[in-house]
Homo-oligomer: A and B are copies of this chain.
Amino acid sequence: MGKPPAERSMVRYDFAARRLYIEVPLDGGTRVELNPAQGHYLRNVLRLSDGAEILVFNGRDGEWRARLSGGSRNFALVALTQTRRQEQGADLHYLFAPLKHARLDYMVQKAVEMGAGLLQPVLTRRTQTERVNIERMRANAIEAAEQCGILAVPGVVEPLKLECVLAAWPQERLLIFCDEDADCADPLTALYAAKRGTPLAVLVGPEGGFDPSERTAILADPSVIRVSLGPRILRADTAAVAILALVQAVLGDWRS
């Protein structure tokens, strides 16, 4: 962190504030008409009324203090001043086999909190679900960003088969593979061997693990680092947070 106390307090204050993600460009004086769902959320869920102030962001123009205006039908807001400059997301892709329902919602939210820069669903032989609701994942990513004050909302891209991911893998991007069978018993040593600043990706498999032929294909890729997440078998959403914590602490922005 190492921020001066004033800025730190501001960030902490911001956390308690109401945040809303909007699509349109933001600048001082911008007036934003809200759609009915947003209006309902602000008026009926957050119980805000005309004149109340919230924070808004669009993932590109930083965070702005904005004032609500308008009556019961046409809710709008006006951007007043910028409270934080836009931050860039980490060059850290999170590749995961989709889970079912609530666990997937949860995993997406957690990956956003942990600072993933892109969410890439990957279909494997043992993937629990073939139908992936991208819009729902996007909504979960936005919700996590609103709650945790993240300005760089990670994109969620269309699912790809594992073989296609590997076939198109760019050599310069390190692929950190969470392998239950990795011999390496020290995941941090494996991560410290990588160069900071390298583009990163993390791959967490489905709860049944990867098929042996899939593991062979992954391990054949020269960009792969294998790491083991300890002797206990973790559920996939737990593994997501655990590996992202290790990666951020060694190679990412948890280390100054």
Contacts and interface: CB of A to CB of B under 8 A. Distances in A.
Interface stretch (A164-172, A185-193, A198-206): A185-193
Q: Give the size range of A's interface with the partner.
A: 35 or more
A228 interface: yes
A15 B148 contact: no
Given A187-B254, A230-B253, A230-B254, 14 more contacts: A2-B185, A12-B209, A15-B233, A16-B208, A110-B238, A113-B234, A115-B232, A147-B235, A148-B232, A186-B249, A186-B256, A241-B241, A242-B242, A245-B245
A250 B147 CA distance: 30
A220 B15 CA distance: 27
A149 interface: yes
B238 A114 contact: yes
B242 A245 contact: yes
24 contacts: A1-B185, A1-B228, A12-B180, A12-B233, A15-B233, A110-B238, A113-B234, A113-B235, A114-B232, A114-B242, A115-B230, A115-B232, A147-B235, A148-B232, A150-B232, A186-B254, A187-B254, A230-B252, A238-B241, A241-B241, A241-B242, A241-B245, A242-B242, A242-B244
